[in-house]
Structure 1
């Protein structure tokens, strides 16, 4: 990874999105300065929590569009997960960074089954072949390794990189309000149900009663340390769960599915 690009990586299941930035997040701070009294709008470490109604989309876009930024998306469609790719790509064309340069990278073991989706000017798709696996845990665990390799080979000059799940779809605007050095979607579930790492030997350990924010699953079977996001996206706006009163819009959600039908070892 070159010194010209300040990039950090984190995983987005339904409840996490990661991006890498070399331009930083301060340029959009004023455009996010819109107040809502009914929600938490800032974290204890002073990172903004982005809700609908806490940012000015027109002002934000006017800040970022002249910079001609590049946005990359990585998505894994391995095995039967290829069935979700068409819906993901089509809804992304409707809602994800409209008017910006976007490059989608699809990792799949079924390259011949990648659907043809018409993409707007300035947007493109690249397919990268990966081996099949009989364990979905292995597929998930290798994502960061493969994305890191992609960064080193092709994306070291890309401004922002999002790692998204293919079994998801877009419902509303996802744009420049989500840009920052490291951005995470807050898990929309009740705090009492967060599967924090409770094993003391793990570097990600949190004692019972600790933990205010949770961003992704899988910590029990794949321990990892966390990074503090520079910007948080309100979890309910990125969830298919029942909408709560404070949620004004659903932006992105997981597709309802039977895991036994699509995961190889379930």
Structure 2
């Protein structure tokens, strides 16, 4: 329920959403939800948006920030009042690993230039997901991360941190609190900007040495959270994968991975 540094871990039943909703409505808070729909990942966007309209931040203002190389392919989805889709054209890359690692740079750039003027909070997630249960303002905090569903019950020594000392994402064997998922993090725009700035710089430093962290931007995210503690942590309810073999499964799966053929989606044909 609580980390050693007194940050709450959010599970079903640990908060009163009615009270929280009223507090955030009085502040007239707006939330940005960022996703990357590049190349074949565009196929997941319609289901993502349709389920987000049903379950994500119901009753609050939301900007859906869609980073894509194909703005014209963004599906038309009926939105509730106070919510809008904001297409953001970005560059494509040949390798999916480069797309993944450039996410930090892209979010940093748009946070500085645009998001800071439009929303108070950013929620950064993967697009190959669907919402199955409500995800609301209980997640919002200055800086939050999500426990990875494959490791939330595990001991530190099996966490798949970057273990090569030459990498900027390196975490020594005796260090580490939790293993965080790269597919769901966020906070205030200012804090997300700091996070993505530092992760991008670390990725570029590795690139100069011809290094790529073992889990790309997720590895750098884990390094950041080790030394910049999240003020709130989300349980695996907020990012679950039914393909994971786990001795403990959450009662509610709020945000669920969509089944897919990775080799087909992450094809290596030249970008157009």
TM-score by length of 2: 0.77
Selected match of 2:144 from 166, 171, 183: 183
TM-score by length of 1: 0.79
CA contact (8 A) 1:237 1:247 kept: no
Q: Partner of 2:162: helix, strand, or coil?
A: coil
User: Could you tell me how far 1:63 is from its partner in structure 2?
Assistant: 1.1
Q: Partner of 2:224: helix, strand, or coil?
A: coil
Selected match of 1:259 from 241, 257, 262: 262
User: Could you tell me how far 1:135 is from its partner in structure 2?
Assistant: 0.5
- Gaps of at least 5 residues in structure 1 are 1-40
Deviates more, 1:142-151 or 1:89-98: 142-151
The match for 1:151 is: 111
For residues 89-134 of structure 1, the C-alpha deviation after alignment (integer angstroms, 9 at most, x for no partner) is 0000000001000001111112221100000000000111122222
- Cα distance in 1, alignment partners of residues 169 and 4 from structure 2: 19
Judging changes above 3 Å, is the alpha-carbon distance between structure 1 residues 264 and 209 closer, same or farther for their aligned structure 2 residues?
A: same
Judging changes above 3 Å, is the alpha-carbon distance between structure 1 residues 207 and 150 closer, same or farther for their aligned structure 2 residues?
A: closer
- Does residue 117 of structure 1 match 2:77? yes
- Cα distance in 2, alignment partners of residues 44 and 185 from structure 1: 16
The alignment yields a C-alpha RMSD, in angstroms, of 2.1
- Does residue 168 of structure 1 match 2:129? yes
For residues 166-217 of structure 1, the C-alpha deviation after alignment (integer angstroms, 9 at most, x for no partner) is 1011011111100101111111113254311211233443333543301136
The match for 2:230 is: 229
CA contact (8 A) 1:95 1:172 kept: yes
- Cα distance in 1, alignment partners of residues 100 and 238 from structure 2: 24
Deviates more, 1:245-254 or 1:167-176: 245-254
- Cα distance in 2, alignment partners of residues 146 and 246 from structure 1: 34
Q: Partner of 2:125: helix, strand, or coil?
A: strand
Higher relative contact order (CA 8 A, sep 6+): 1
- Does residue 60 of structure 1 match 2:63? no
Q: Partner of 1:85: helix, strand, or coil?
A: helix
How many residues align structurally?
A: 226
CA contact (8 A) 2:36 2:66 kept: yes
In the TM superposition, 1:66-77 aligns within 5 A as 66-77=26-37
- Does residue 44 of structure 1 match 2:44? no
- Cα distance in 2, alignment partners of residues 61 and 155 from structure 1: 22
- Cα distance in 1, alignment partners of residues 126 and 248 from structure 2: 26
Deviates more, 1:244-253 or 1:146-155: 244-253
